[in-house]
Every structure is written in C-alpha cells, then in structure tokens.
Structure 1
Amino acid sequence: MISNDVVTMTEAAVSRVKDIVKNSQGTAQGIRISLKKGGCAGLEYMVDLVTEPFNDDDLVEKDGVKVWIDPSALFYILGMEIDFKIEKLHSGFIFHNPNQVSACGCGQSVEIKRADLEQYYNEKHSKEM
C-alpha cells in the first residue's frame, strides 16, 4: 500500500465508490485508476471496477474504500484529488491533477506531465512544518 496522500479522495468520491462496490452484488473490491492513450489531448483517465486486483497495482485506502492505481500511471497522477460531481446533465468522477497541463474542449482527454518528485517531496514536507 502506498501513502494515502499520493492520491486523495473527497467524501463525495468515497461515497460513490462505496455505492458502486455495494451495487456490484459483492463481486467488486474497489476501483482501479489508470491512463490510456486517446482523445485529442493525448490521455484519458480510466476508472474500472476491481474484482481481482493486479499484483503490481498500488493501493490507496480511505474510509474503507480501496483504490488501486496502475503503476504506469502513478507518476502522472501523483498529488491528484478524486472527486465525484452530480450535475443536471452529467455525473462522474472529477480528477484534480496538479500534473495536468491541458485538456481538450470536451473534457474527456488530458495532457499530463510526469510529476516532479523533488517538488512534490518539498511541498509535502513544508506543509508538515
């Protein structure tokens, strides 16, 4: 398991994942976050139901919710907050990613730079002081 501050979740996201797991008839353990190539900006966030986690995935837990992270995505989503929004015409997970450079107009694909580990470390430790 990795540190819970590598990727954080709002209460709305935690609640939604709990609902998804509950409605899966007991087959799901949580969700998996990954990235795939696609869209006009280059990458798309993927959220999949996890019934059997991959051995090399990293695990983040909050309030009983399990989120597995594809290791190839980890350095691109380091510091990201996962939220869940319900709006009049759309509902879904929202990703507040400090490594995101841009997004396409439709909001489905993003350009993400690899996280600066030194900067991330310094920011985390300056908040602790």
Structure 2
Amino acid sequence: MTVMTFKPSKPRVTLSDSARIYLSKEIRNKQAAGLCFSVKKSGCNGFKYMLDFIDKPSSEDDLVVINDQQFKLYVTQEALPYVNGTEIDCVTEGLNKVIKFINPNSSAECGCGESFSV
C-alpha cells in the first residue's frame, strides 16, 4: 500500500486587478505586512474562505503566492489543496465592494458565496 500526498508542482492563487488594488489599499490602511489566505470548517457547505491581515507570516503560512513591493499574500499549507487555482476578485455590488473567490476545486457553494465544498 502506498500513501499519496498532495504537493502541487506550481501552487497558484491569482488576484484580479480590482482585487489587487482594493486589497493593497486595505493592507496599507491596516498597516499590515500582508494577507493570509486560509480555509476553516464552517458554513452550510463545509468550508469557509478566510482572508486575514497579518504582521508577519506564521510557520504555517510559508507559501508566498503573490509578492511584490506593496502586496504579500500567504496561503496556509492546510488550505492549498482546497484553493489551488483560485482567483480572488473584487466586485461592486450596489454600494459595496465584495471579495469573490472563483475556485475550480469547489463542487458546491452556498448562495452567499461564503462557504464551499470540494
């Protein structure tokens, strides 16, 4: 019997231009070093996306997906199998800006888009 582990050769999470602009402003406003992208068990479909402002990455957040002078996005190793290939977008709905996650690994999402299953 063999055990297989998930190790993507090229981890990939992307941001749309509108998400990059919006999140860069929010990082500056919060005076944070970057964002940590993770998932937690929650919601009606099993998992919930989490974007947290961080001052420095923890040992879990050792994967830097986006790294330029103004923006750092860390993805936890635990979340990567669920979010690899995801595009983070920012859209305007009415008067509000909303972060949307376009995840090719998701098999179902709740109506509000906050939780998903794989």
When normalised by structure 2's length, the TM-score is: 0.82
Give how far 1:50 is off. Answer: 1.0
1:11 aligns with 2:17: yes
Instruction: Tell me the residue number matched to 2:58.
Output: 54
Counterpart-to-counterpart distance in 2, 1:62 and 1:92: 23
Q: How far apart, CA to CA, are the structure 2 residues paired with 1:106 and 1:63?
A: 31
Q: Displacement, 1:108? A: 1.9
Show the 5 A alignment for 1:109-124.
109-112=115-118
Q: Distance in 1 between matches of 2:52 and 2:27?
A: 11
Change (3 A) 1:109 1:88: same
Structure 2's unaligned 5+ residue stretches are: 1-7
User: Superposition RMSD on alpha carbons, in Å?
Assistant: 2.0
| Aligned match for 2:46, one of 21, 32, 42 | 42
Equivalents in 2 of 1:84, 1:30: separation in Å? 17
Give, as a single letter, the amino acid of the residue that structure 2 aligns with 1:59.
Answer: V
Cα deviation per residue 1:60-96 (whole Å; 9 max; x = unaligned)? 1254311010110001111111111121054221111
Deviation digits for residues 21-62 of structure 1, max 9, x if unmatched?
A: 1111x3x01111110111111110011001121123111125
Alignment partners' CA distance in 2, 1:89 and 1:36? 28
Indicate the larger mover: 32-41 or 2-11. 2-11
Whether 1:68 aligns to 2:50 is no
2:108 aligned residue: 102
Percent of paired sites with the same residue: 36
- Counterparts of 1:4 and 1:47, CA distance in 2: 21
- Where 2:60 maps in the other structure, the secondary structure is coil
Q: How many residues align?
A: 109
Q: Which runs of 5+ in 1 are unaligned?
A: 113-129
CA–CA separation in structure 2 for the residues paired with 1:84 and 1:19: 13
CA distance in 1, matches of 2:99, 2:112: 15
